[in-house]
Amino acid sequence: MANRVAIELRDDVYRRPLVTATERLGVSSGWKCVDVGAGGGDVSVALGKIVGPSGRVFAVDIDPGRRDQVAEIAARETQVIALTQPAEEMVLPEKVDLAFCRFLLLQVIEPGLVIERMASVVKDGGWIVIQEAVTSAGRIGDSPISTLSGTMKHPDIGIMVPGIVKQLGLEITDCWAEAPVGLGDTPESRYLEAMTGILVTDEPVMLPPIVTTIARVSH
């Protein structure tokens, strides 16, 4: 991710899919959750607000620097607990109702291993929510945005996730894609500018769609 401005803009433009997912799943007060590859904690905080003081959110990230960022948030959202761990070896103090990841699997070597680990920390009958992008499907007008994929290991992992989840024997209960689109001086055009240096205001910008996959875990 390019810089702080880009991260904040990205959080803005991709917050709607996050709301769609939590509402469709019915995340509510008292749920215990883990946000895997939590980064700056945007998803952790959103979940923390929903689950309230009786719930709990573990924010797991491999980068200890991220822990400090989330720890700052945790001081305000007391139910968010930051842990430094690789997702592939994640161990939590208790089982959770929901394991969530967003924009993580595009960075890891073996996405299937991470999904399997996520399932292992979820209670029987609990949920996994995965939100990952299809980077090559972003558009400026009708042309692909070819500069976005950068050094990602799996730039189009979003469309691969349902197959991986099914192969792991998990039951997919919901799956859909959402893409932020704007025309003019919009958060979408400003995010694209922050990521690529290209400002486009005279054509529609469709940022990479994010595919949400929801699966139920039964052990």
Ligand X SMILES: C[S@@+](CC[C@H](N)C(=O)[O-])C[C@H]1O[C@@H](n2cnc3c(N)ncnc32)[C@H](O)[C@@H]1O
CB contact at 8 A, 211 and 159: yes
Q: Which is nearer to ligand X, 88 or 171 (CB)?
A: 88
Dihedral sign, Cα of residue 33, residue 36, residue 212, residue 200: positive
Q: Is 155 in the site for ligand X (CB under 6 A)?
A: no
Rounded to a whole number of angstroms, the minimum distance from the CB of residue 3 to ligand X is 13
DSSP 128-158: EEEEEE-GGG-EETTEE-TTS-TT-S-TTHH
Structure tokens at 105: 């699997």
Distance, CA of 101 to CA of 18 (rounded, Å): 10
Rounded to a whole number of angstroms, the minimum distance from the CB of residue 120 to ligand X is 14
The structure tokens 């990230």 sit at 61
Rounded to a whole number of angstroms, the minimum distance from the CB of residue 37 to ligand X is 3
Q: Is 38 in the site for ligand X (CB under 6 A)?
A: yes
Q: Is 107 in the site for ligand X (CB under 6 A)?
A: yes
CB contact at 8 A, 100 and 122: no
Q: Which of 21, 22, 42, 194 binds ligand X (CB under 6 A)?
A: 42
Q: Is 61 in the site for ligand X (CB under 6 A)?
A: yes
Rounded to a whole number of angstroms, the minimum distance from the CB of residue 183 to ligand X is 25
How many residues bind ligand X (CB under 6 A)? The answer is 18
Q: Which is nearer to ligand X, 38 or 217 (CB)?
A: 38
Annotate 8-18 with b (16+ C-beta within 10 A) or e (fewer).
Answer: ebbbebbeebb
3-state secondary structure of 114: helix
Q: Which of 50, 57, 59, 103 binds ligand X (CB under 6 A)?
A: 103
Q: Is 187 in the site for ligand X (CB under 6 A)?
A: no
Distance, CA of 179 to CA of 182 (rounded, Å): 10
Q: Which of 108, 165, 179, 205 binds ligand X (CB under 6 A)?
A: 108
3-state secondary structure of 58: strand
Q: Is 66 in the site for ligand X (CB under 6 A)?
A: yes
Q: Which residue is nearest to ligand X (CB)?
A: 39
Site for ligand X in 167-186 (CB under 6 A): none
> What residue ranges bind ligand X (CB under 6 A)?
1, 37-39, 42-43, 61-63, 66, 86-88, 102-104, 107-108
